[in-house]
Amino acid sequence: MMQPIDYLSPDVPPELPWYELPIVIATPESLKGYGQLVDDYRNFPIEIVTWPAQGWRPIDIDTGNQGGTITGNFDVWWEGDFLYGRNQAVNDRYLFGWSKNPGEAQKIPQEKLDRSCVLLWHINYHPDSGQLFFPLNSSPFVVPLALAGDDVKPEDFKAFYFDGTQGLYIHPNIWHEGIFPLTPEASFYDCQGKVHARVSCNIAQEFGLFLSVPLKKWRFGKGRVNRISLQ
């Protein structure tokens, strides 16, 4: 029998290898298959997946997809080496990960913090709907994404960089784990299906590693991507 996932105190080893994700600048072309860039977030349509038929008789037309959407702020913030999130739309809180191995991570104030990456232990997707995120404070942010499919692997993920001038819409079934700002805290507008079905993968348990998501500013430069240190 499945047990509820403890998103605030995950059962993970104190140390694991890191798998660093490749960074990709978010453009209409690079997001094909994953989703879209968003300008007018208040009027952007959210895909709602029709409830699947249980037998050979089809779902009646214009039914099974009337649950609608729900909106709210999605807040993300650091406490020492711990990165937390709160999705007010669905009243959930999460520990996304750490800036170092969890056995070394501390919440207490420190003289110098290295938040150049976040180590993820968990990923998920929503089979019932798409999801939209828009930065309310224009903060640049990074989102790890992988295409649909339950046989996902660490190498399927890319870290998409957004400069904060546009938001992100992801299609149903796209693997993700939140939006990670390049500031100590940030708020995002969130819109998603009200049913809020979630399919999870515990990366730490299944693959014996953490996904390392780079948290640096990036820009184009003569045909290549340049990293800009935030320190």
**What CATH code is carried by the domain that includes residue 131?**
2.60.120.480
Q: Let me know if residue 111 belongs to a domain.
A: yes
Alpha-helical regions (H) of 31-144: none
Q: Let me know if residue 3 belongs to a domain.
A: no
pLDDT at 223: 41
pLDDT at 167: 99
The list of the chain residues with pLDDT below 70 reads 1, 218-231
Query: Is residue 89 within 8 Å of 178, Cβ to Cβ?
Result: no
Phi then psi for residue 71, to 5 deg, are -125, 160
Q: Let me know if residue 109 belongs to a domain.
A: yes
Q: How many residues belong to the chain?
A: 231
pLDDT at 122: 98
Phi then psi for residue 77, to 5 deg, are -155, 155
Q: Let me know if residue 170 belongs to a domain.
A: yes
Q: Let me know if residue 55 belongs to a domain.
A: no
Q: Let me know if residue 2 belongs to a domain.
A: no
Tokens standing for residue 190: 């969130």
pLDDT at 218: 67
Q: Let me know if residue 8 belongs to a domain.
A: no
Structural domain count of the chain: 1
Question: In the chain, what are the helix, strand and coil shares in percent, each to the nearest 5?
Answer: 5, 40, 55
pTM attached to this predicted model = 0.92
pLDDT at 226: 52
Query: Residue 171: helix, strand or coil by DSSP?
Result: coil
Residue 141, domain extent:
18-45+67-228
Phi then psi for residue 37, to 5 deg, are -75, 150
Q: Let me know if residue 53 belongs to a domain.
A: no
pLDDT at 230: 40
